Amino acid sequence: MVRVVVPSMLAAQAGGRGHFDVEVETVGEALHALPVADLVIDERGELRRYINVYVDGSDARDRGGLACPLTGAHEVRIVAMLSGG
Amino acid sequence: MGVLALVGTRKGLFLLTADDERDSWQVEGPLLDGWGVYHAIVDERDGTFHAAANHLVYGPTVQRSSDGGKTWRRSHQIGLPEQSGLTVNATWHIEPGRPAEPGTLYLGGDPAFLSRSDDGGETWEANRGILEHPTRDRWPPSRGGLLLHCVQLDPSDAQRMYVAVSGGGTFRTVDGGATWAPKNNDVEFDLVSDPYPEVGQCVHKLVLHPARPERLWQQNHCGVYRSDDCGDTWQRLDGNGLPGPFGFTIMLDPTDPDVAVVIPEKAYEYHYTVDGLGVYRTRDGGQTWERMVDGLPQQAWAAVLREASAFDAESMYFGTQSGSFFALTNGDTWVEGVRHLPPILSVEVTAWSE
């Protein structure tokens, strides 16, 4: 079981829920299991460009992206990367 | 009768209400907190709110609420066909269908697509006549995108409708959307060697007069135009009283087809009003224009986007990129109903009572 934690705008789009406990093998499966999957994965099945996914604090893009295995992982955290001022 | 204004902003949707006088406004919001609401509209057929909501990170969405904005549901199928090679960059405009076609809605967006829903906005299907238009390679995209942003339905003919593309021009269908004919005769595109090409014009806003549907108005990158023959020919109208040809939005009077109101801006790279916040009205079909600035700030560098105005039988309304919302009272005086909203992207109104 891994806990997927989403930021507040995604939680608002998920009826107010900020985390989801899912039984899955990969980051891609974890994201697809969310009611906000379409907001983190684009219409061609790719992780949106400025969404980062951290698996127990490590950037999933460095570990296979959507294929990143979740064996032994506890937390998947979704972060919207925004800059500017 | 009072009025409810759906005001889409860079940071969410605001609901503004006023009584019949329209001089005192109440604010509720933001709904869809954090979303850039490019357009929001009430479907007069069933009261549903529809919003084209976009986010820099989370992407394009279409959302709807059947409880006055308390809860929202996202459309789950807004993508474009894979074989098109295109993906949706942003949703720009939602047009509810005619009274005789319940559940039907139209969606315009970037890159220049028109989609139709027949299930109240849950799923959408892209119009192939637009996606595969034989002139599409002559629609120049711009930094802001290649936008299909106006959808106008002819209330007198269920098969006839219009769309406008920046930059592609105006297109008309007379077969319910199967085929689309360019309708840009006499409309200037001053950047190319042939200034009157078949397509490529940058329409900023296209509006059909609801009581005289063969009459269309457009604020174009290159002037203000009127057509009295369903877009077959256009007459340029910005030579007599307007400070310049460029602007984005246009408002009409549903009770008088000869009235139009525009807000000219400094052209091309600048996009702000000159000489204060100057609003201009014609009462003679565009032959002459008068400045109507009673109640408006005269020290202002404002910008009013294409969707950021609305009209009903009683009044006109617009919002600025600096977050001010204005309504016309007594036919001639503007009232700043609300200020300090986030940058205003869209305004639509509907009848409302407390």
Q: Give me the sign of the Cα torsion angle B298, B299, B301, B302.
A: negative
List, edge to edge, every strand of the sheet that includes B280-282.
Answer: B247-253, B256-264, B280-282, B290-291
Minimum CA–CA partner of B64 in chain A: A13
Q: Look up the pTM and report it.
A: 0.97
Range of the domain at B293: 2-352
If you write DSSP's letter for every residue of B84-115 in order, what string do you get? GT----EEEEEEE--TTSTT-EEEEEETTEEE
- From CA B109, how far away is CA B86, in angstroms rounded? 12
B59 touches chain A (CB under 8 A): yes
List, edge to edge, every strand of the sheet that includes A75-80.
Answer: A19-22, A2-5, A75-80, A51-55, A58-59
Q: Where are the domains of chain A?
A: 2-80
Backbone angles phi, psi at B86, to 5 degrees: -110, 150
- Which distant-in-sequence residues (6+ apart) come within 8 Å of B190 by Cβ? B222
- From CA B353, how far away is CA B3, in angstroms rounded? 7
Q: Can you tell me whether residue B37 is helix, strand or coil? A: strand
E strands along B102-253, which residues?
Answer: 105-110, 113-117, 125-126, 147-153, 161-166, 169-173, 181-182, 203-208, 216-220, 223-227, 235-236, 247-253
- Which distant-in-sequence residues (6+ apart) come within 8 Å of B310 by Cβ? B5, B251, B316, B317, B318, B347, B348, B349
| Antiparallel, parallel or unpaired: β A19-22 and B2-9 | unpaired
Of A39, A44, A51, Cβ closest to residue B87: A44
If you write DSSP's letter for every residue of A14-64 in order, what string do you get? TTT--EEEE--SBHHHHHHTSTTHHHHB-TTSPBPTTEEEEETTEEGGGGT
Domain count, chain B: 1
* Nearest CA-CA distance, residue B262 and chain A, Å: 33
Mean pLDDT, contiguous 10-residue spans, chain B (354 residues): 96 97 96 98 98 98 97 94 96 97 97 98 98 96 93 97 96 98 95 91 97 98 97 95 96 98 94 94 97 96 98 97 96 96 98 88
Of B33, B34, B76, Cβ closest to residue A38: B76
- From CA B341, how far away is CA B354, in angstroms rounded? 23
Q: Which of B58, B74, B86 to mutate to test the interface with A (most CBs of A within 10 A)?
A: B58
- Which distant-in-sequence residues (6+ apart) come within 8 Å of B176 by Cβ? B158, B159, B161
CA B235 to chain centre: 21
Q: Which of B165, B239, B233, B172 is CA-nearest to residue B202?
A: B165
CB contact under 8 A, B61 and A39: yes
Q: What is the ipTM of this complex?
A: 0.96
Minimum CA–CA partner of A40 in chain B: B58
Q: Which of B160, B165, B162, B164 is CA-nearest to residue B176?
A: B160
* Nearest CA-CA distance, residue A10 and chain B, Å: 9
CATH classification for the domain delimited by A2-80, as one of 3.40.190.10, 3.10.20.30, 3.10.620.30, 3.50.50.60: 3.10.20.30
* Nearest CA-CA distance, residue B53 and chain A, Å: 12
* Nearest CA-CA distance, residue B166 and chain A, Å: 24
B87 touches chain A (CB under 8 A): yes
Give pLDDT tens digits along chain A (85 positions).
Answer: 999 999 999 999 999 999 999 999 999 999 999 999 999 999 999 999 999 999 999 999 999 999 999 999 999 999 999 998 8
Q: Which of A36, A39, A46, A82 to mutate to test the interface with B (most CBs of B within 10 A)?
A: A39
We report the CATH number of the domain holding residue B26 as 2.130.10.10
User: For residue B108, what are the CA distances in angstroms to B86, B141, B247, B282?
Assistant: 14, 15, 21, 29
- Residue carrying structure tokens 């009611």: A35
Minimum CA–CA partner of A49 in chain B: B57
pLDDT at A85: 82
Within 8 A of B72 by CB-CB distance, chain A residues are 13
CB contact under 8 A, A82 and B56: yes
* Nearest CA-CA distance, residue B263 and chain A, Å: 30
CB contact under 8 A, B57 and A12: no
pLDDT at B144: 87
CB contact under 8 A, A12 and B33: yes
Minimum CA–CA partner of B55 in chain A: A39
pLDDT at B339: 98
Q: Give me the sign of the Cα torsion angle B266, B270, B271, B277.
A: negative
B141 touches chain A (CB under 8 A): no
pLDDT at B67: 97
List, edge to edge, every strand of the sheet that includes B36-42.
Answer: B36-42, B49-55, B59-65, B73-74
pLDDT at B331: 87
Angle, alpha carbons B106-B30-B262 (nearest 5°) = 55
pLDDT at B76: 87
